[in-house]
Amino acid sequence: MVDRMTIERLREILDAYGAEPLHWPPAERITAQAFAARDPRAVALVAEAEALDRLLNMAPVEAPSAALAARVLARRPKVSWLKSLWRDLFPGTPVWRPALGLCAALMLGVGVQAAAADRLGLNESGEVATTTEDTGTDIAPLSGGETISEEDVL
């Protein structure tokens, strides 16, 4: 909070923010209001600013033309949909963090698949081993402990 207000600083505030104290910087608002209430020069400055605000408020405000809107939109920075999506999904996050998470999930999936393939008795070609000699492991759990012949399957 500012302890001392000058006529010059009050003039700067009025020029920048107008006569409405709610628009003034919060850190200087109370001091400026107290100064404007007790100094006759400040009272005159505030009255001038209020008159200018009323005049400006009477000016008609027109909607921008379609041509102006098109020019403004044409000059906006171009952002690809992918970058925009990335910013929306991971705001303020460096690229390596989600990428590291994705790599960890991928490695976990590959490890689980490899372990499952070994447990299920799949060989390198992706086919189910038909004998214990193909895998070097016991494949009895796949058949419920029973031996299944080719004729039983067909």
Residue 63 lies in a domain: no
Helix, strand and coil in the chain, % to nearest 5: 65, 0, 35
Is pLDDT of 75 > 60? yes
Buried b (16+ CB within 10 A) or exposed e, 17-46: bbbeeeebeeebbebbbebbeebeebeebb
Distance CA 99, CA 64 (A): 44
Decide if 113 is inside a domain.
Answer: yes
Q: What is the pLDDT of residues 16-73, one digit of tens each?
A: 999 999 999 999 999 999 999 999 999 999 999 999 999 999 998 889 899 999 999 8
Distance CA(97)–CA(10), nearest Å, equals: 50
48 shares a domain with 96? no
- The domain total for the chain is 2
pLDDT tens per residue across span 78-102 = 878 888 887 888 888 887 888 898 8
Residue 79: the pLDDT is 76
Residue 7 has pLDDT above 90, yes or no: yes
Q: Provide CB contacts within 8 A for 46, sequence distance 6+.
A: 14, 19, 36
Q: Does residue 129 belong to any structural domain of this protein?
A: yes
Cβ–Cβ contacts within 10 Å for residue 7, how many?
13
pTM (predicted TM-score): 0.43
Measured CA distances, 71 to 24, 30, 64, 80, 116 (Å): 33, 42, 11, 20, 59
Are 100 and 148 part of one and the same domain? yes
pLDDT in tens, 101-151: 889 999 999 988 888 777 776 656 555 555 555 555 544 455 455 565 666
Q: Does 51 fall in a domain?
A: yes
Please check whether residues 149 and 97 belong to one and the same domain: yes
Q: Is residue 87 part of a domain?
A: no
| Centroid of chain to Cα 43 | 47
The distance of Cα 44 from the centroid of its chain, to the nearest Å, equals: 48
Domain range spanning residue 144? 92-153
Query: What per-residue confidence (pLDDT) applies to 128?
Result: 55
Answer yes or no: is 67 within a domain. Answer: no
**β-bridge mates for residue 90, sequence order:** none
Which carries the bigger pLDDT value, residue 9 or residue 122? 9
